[in-house]
Every structure is written in structure tokens, then in C-alpha cells.
Amino acid sequence: MKLLIFDRVRLRLSLNYLAVISLMLLVFAVGVRILFDRILHQKIIDRLSVVAENAIDNVELDEDRLMFDRELTDRHRMNLSIPVLSPEDNLELFDFKGNQLSKLGKLDADLPLSFQNFQQVRSGDPRFQYVTLPLVENKTNRTVGYLRASHSLAAIDASLHKLDLGLIGGIGLTLLFSSGGAIWLTTQAMKPAEDSFQQLQQFTADASHELRSPLMAIVSNTRVALKYPAGIRAGDIDKFQSIESAAMQMRRLTEDLLWLARNNGNADRSPTEIVDLGKILADAIDSHQAIADLKQIKIKCNVVENLLVLGDELQLQRVLTNLIENAIFYNRIGGSIEIEIQRSRRSILVRIEDTGIGIATEHLPKIFDRFWRADTSRIQWEGGSGLGLAIVKDIITRHHGRIEVTSHKNLGSCFTIQLPISDLNNV
């Protein structure tokens, strides 16, 4: 029997596994992309440096004016191939002020000369890579101009685009196959824990079931002895009463453990019975009125019948009984309990507010944990098992509802239940 909690853990582990794999693949893809881009650009820079160095031999200085030799300019004018250039290359000649003097090549790669960056990249479509070399006069050792070689990056951009598509496709396929692997791995990893939990659950159910009979025998015998106290010494009556109280507390604990063990595996089974929540609440109040009177606690309620919900009558009765018992036993003598039930278009709200000892704000997130108690003041009711609120929340969740609590220390608590309404209420 699969448990809902293990399904959630399995899903969380699978998502975490995929998240880690995705992060690793993303880092790998970005690293490959950056490395590939730098390698290609460095190859272009190295090639342009060689082109510019070879072209320096074809630059002439005539009366402080730089120019390409006649052979290069003639071939350029006649649209013939230039030996030092490829069709994707340009050569530009600048004076020492950065003014363009001459240009060889067919591509539109104009860009102002930068004196700070001799390896420029022009953005746009297409992009260009530039490498600039200074021209130094041998005799005076002064810079008389600059020679700049440029190359179109269209081919590199196309290659990078193909690489991006390949990386994206590879990551997608990897994640697709990894998702299947994640499900299989998490299933295998959770199987021992799930088996152990089921064994523990079965042991709890068996132990609770087996304890019911001896506990009933203890309770029955102590009650018989207390009913006919003639044969009991006066000092032993309190001991028998303590035995009965402890046996009743153990019985309640075993009943709660048995309920949890039997119902934890059925969290995915939705109730299908139409029940009247108002009637269930009225019956729960009536059955606890005598106990409330003993503590002089006044119960105020506005119970409305014919409020239909889709649920299990016994389970909902257990919820309301548990909350009313808590409101009584953790209340003060002479206190009050206000119970209000409201109906909206889609849900029914039940609010149970008491004037009891309350719960500290920092403890509120834990009150639905099993066996948790805020402090010793919450143990004043010896009949409690520490599982009541855990069972309440489990039942409400099973009914696709929710339960909320607000409380203030020494002022009281308010539990609010919201359950989805049945369509029959609108008929």
C-alpha cells in the first residue's frame, strides 16, 4: 500500500535530483560555450595579427603620407583578389590622429579607430573583429599611423548558434532521460524506508489491537472493585482509582494509535457519504454538556442543521468531539466556549473558541505534531493521548478541508475548520 507521504518525498527527491542535474548541465553548457567562443575569437585575432604584419610590407610612407603600394590598390580597384586578404577581410590605413587614409576589402566594416583597444569587436549584424598594429618609422622611432585588419564574425556566429542549439537539445534530451532515471533511483532509495515504515505501521496496529483486550479487562475489574468497595481497604481505593485512570488513558492511546495505523495508508481515499455537519456538531455538544456543567463552562452555539458535506460521519464526529473536549478540559472554571458554524457558497466554516490557557505563538506550528505538548500545563488533562490534534488534522485533510488555529497565552484558543460544501446544499 503506497503512502501519500512517501509519494511526496519521492517527488521531492526526484525534483531535487533533476535540479542538481540541470544546474550541472547548465554550468557545463555555459563553460563549453564560453570556451568555444574564446577559442574561435583567439584564432581570428591570431590570423588578423598575421595578416596585418604581412600587410605592413605593402605600406609606403611618401612625404609623411601613408598609402598602400600601387599593386594592392590596383588589384583592389579592379576587384581582383588581394594576396594578403580573404573575402571576409578588410585592411584599413590610418594616420597617427586616427583618420582613415585608405581601405582594402569589400565588406562594410567601418568603425572609428580606438587608441585604447587594439582588439575591437563591432556589434551589429554581422559583427566584425578588428586587430590594429601601430606603424613606426624606423629612423625616428615614432608612430606615423596605424594598420587595422578586420574579419567578419558571421561564420563564427553561425557556428555558435549551431552550438547553442546542440547544447539546448542535448540538455533537453538529458533531462528527459534523467527524469526517468530520477524516478527509478528515488523509488529504489525509498523502497527500504517505505517497507520499514509499513512494518512499523503494521506492528503498531497489531500491538494496539492486542493491548485493547487486557486494558479492557483491567478497566472492568477496577470498576467492579470500586463498585463494591466493602472488601477494599480504605487506603486502597485511591490506588484502584489511579489504576482505572491510567488504564483508560492507555486505552485511549491504543485506540488513537490503532486509528492512525489503519488510516495512514488510505489518505488517498476520498469520503463519498453525504452527512449533516450541523447535526453531528449538535450531538457532540449535547454529549459534552454535562462535563462542561461540572466545570461551570458555558457553551454558546448557533448550530444550524441541514448543512451537508461529503465525508465520513464517524471521522467528522471524532474531529468535533476532540476539539470540544480540548476546549473544555483546557478551559478555566467558569469560562466559556463559543461555537459558530457558517455556510458560504463553496464551504462550511466551524469555529470553536474557548477562554482557556491558550498556546504560545511560537508553539502554534507544532500543535498538530504527534505526541507534542507545549508545556506541562497542557498535560493537566490526563485522559489525553497527545495524538488528538494530529488525528483531527489528518481527518480534515482527508476531507479536502483545512484547519487553522489562533491562540494567545492565558487568553484562549480558536480552532477554525473549513470543509468543502456538498452540492446538495444548493438544491
Residue 188 grid cell = 529504489
Pick the closest to residue 181 from 37, 44, 17, 334 (CA basis): 17
CA separation for the pair 252, 382 (Å, rounded): 11
Residue 380, C-alpha cell as written in the block: 493537566
Q: What is the rounded CA–CA span in Å between residue 264 and residue 198?
A: 10
Sorted by where each begins, the domain ranges of the chain are 4-160, 270-426
Instruction: Look at the block and give the residue holding cell 469560562.
Output: 335
Alpha carbons 156 and 127: distance in angstroms, whole number: 9
Identity of the residue numbered 211: L
Direct distance between the N- and C-terminal alpha carbons of the chain, in angstroms, rounded to an integer = 38
Q: Around Cβ 397, how many Cβ atoms within 10 Å?
A: 14
The pLDDT tens digits of the residues spanning 10-51 come to 888 888 888 999 999 999 999 999 999 999 989 999 988 888
pLDDT tens column, 344-365: 878 888 999 999 888 888 888 8
Whether 367 and 389 have beta carbons less than 8 Å apart is answered as yes
CA distance 9 to 143: 72
Q: Helices 4-56 and 154-227 meet at what angle, rounded to 10? A: 160
pLDDT value of residue 303: 73
Give the model confidence (pLDDT) of 197-251 as tens digits: 666 666 666 666 666 677 777 777 777 777 777 767 767 777 777 777 777 667 6
Residue 109 to residue 150: CA distance in whole angstroms? 7
Q: Which CATH class is domain 4-160?
A: alpha beta
Which has the higher per-residue pLDDT, 371 or 188? 188
The rounded mean pLDDT for the chain is 80
Give pLDDT tens digits for 55-90: 887 788 777 678 887 777 767 666 666 666 777 888
Query: Which residues are CB-contacts of 199 (< 8 A; sequence separation ≥ 6)?
Result: none
> Can you identify the CATH homologous superfamily of domain 270-426?
Histidine kinase-like ATPase, C-terminal domain (3.30.565.10)
Residues 373, 375, 378: CA angle, nearest 5 degrees: 65
How confident is the model over 149-176, as a mean pLDDT?
89
Strand order in the sheet with 128-136: 100-104, 89-95, 143-152, 128-136, 121-122
If pLDDT is split at 50, 70 and 90, which confidence band does 308 have?
A: confident
Burial code (b: 16+ CB inside 10 Å, e: under 16) for 227-241 equals eeeeeeeeeeeeebe
Q: Contacts from 371-376 at CB under 8 Å and sequence distance 24+?
A: none
Q: What's the rounded Cα separation, in Å, for the pair 377 and 383? A: 14
Considering 259-263, 267-271, 353-357, the range whose residues carry the highest mean pLDDT is 353-357
Main-chain dihedrals φ then ψ at residue 355, nearest 5 degrees: -110, 40
